[in-house]
Amino acid sequence: LFCQYIPAGPAMASGDLPDGGWLYVIKWSSIPEKDPLKDSPYGKWSLDAIGRSIAVEGVKEFRTFRAAAGGPHIISTLGFSSLGDLTAWRGNTDIMKLQSEAQEMTYEFVSEIWGPSEYLPNPRWRTGIENGYVGKVLYVISTGLAKGKQESYGKWIQESIPVWFAVPGLLGVRAFHVVVGARKEVVVFEVEDAKSWGEWYENPEVQRTRDASRVLIENIRTEIWGPNPFVLKPIRPKAESGESGR
């Protein structure tokens, strides 16, 4: 169940992701504990749940974060190569048992399924880190599309990408279509840390791209997912052959 962690490298390239491109996104809040986190009943269950989750065939990558504000305050993503693999994983007996356990050990529990986006089918990475490192902080924008704005939205993404990468701090950008969830389009910006995000986000050129999107999108939710000290690095299960993932 161990993995290889890919360090950052030093503008823009497209590439595949170790997570496979389909994400099962789980969000929840934990019940406060008096004991240190890893020694608490929730902490012990959480570590056990991670191991059981990635032991089931099909998982390409596991990541976990803490929300910078608001709730649910814990987010985990499990990556799969296809919707079929994700569906088979969810149907596994132990995974269904874990879902039931989660309802008892957590609150504000929600789950979503994110698939590839027609507007940005392949992730874009700053040159030198494609097919590898992922940021420690994610800036996530979830939206619906305004009526009749699908084509304009796709054009906005493609025109904005060079602007986003021209500003230091951005490591990668990805887009998803939400198959199960309230908002249907998601754009995820990967950055190294909160400071890098703040400097990138406040840049006037980045703000101009945000202003241009306002007539195209609706029902907007923005989130910042920061590091979760419980599991700081992505977990990428080894292939059956014994070779590590990317």
Model pLDDT for residues 204-229, shown as the tens digit of each residue: 999 999 999 999 999 999 999 999 88
pLDDT value, residue 129: 67
Tell me what percent of the residues of the chain surpass a pLDDT of 90. Answer: 62
pLDDT value, residue 16: 52
Question: What is the distance, to the nearest Å, from the Cα of residue 26 to the centroid of all Cα atoms in its chain?
Answer: 10
Lowest mean pLDDT among 102-111, 128-137, 146-155, 172-181: 128-137
pLDDT value, residue 38: 67
Mean pLDDT, range 92-121, rounded to an integer = 92
Task: Specify which residues 218 forms β-bridges with.
Answer: 144
Lowest mean pLDDT among 51-65, 118-132, 232-246: 232-246
Positive or negative, the CA dihedral 116, 98, 100, 232 is negative
Average pLDDT value over all residues in the chain: 85
Tell whether the model's pLDDT for residue 14 goes beyond 60. no
- The region that residue 197 occupies, defined by phi over 0 for left and psi between -120 and 50 for alpha, beta otherwise, is alpha
Tell whether the model's pLDDT for residue 5 goes beyond 50. no
Mean pLDDT, range 62-74, rounded to an integer = 89
Tell me what percent of the residues of the chain surpass a pLDDT of 70. Answer: 84
Tell whether the model's pLDDT for residue 90 goes beyond 70. yes
Tell whether the model's pLDDT for residue 56 goes beyond 50. yes
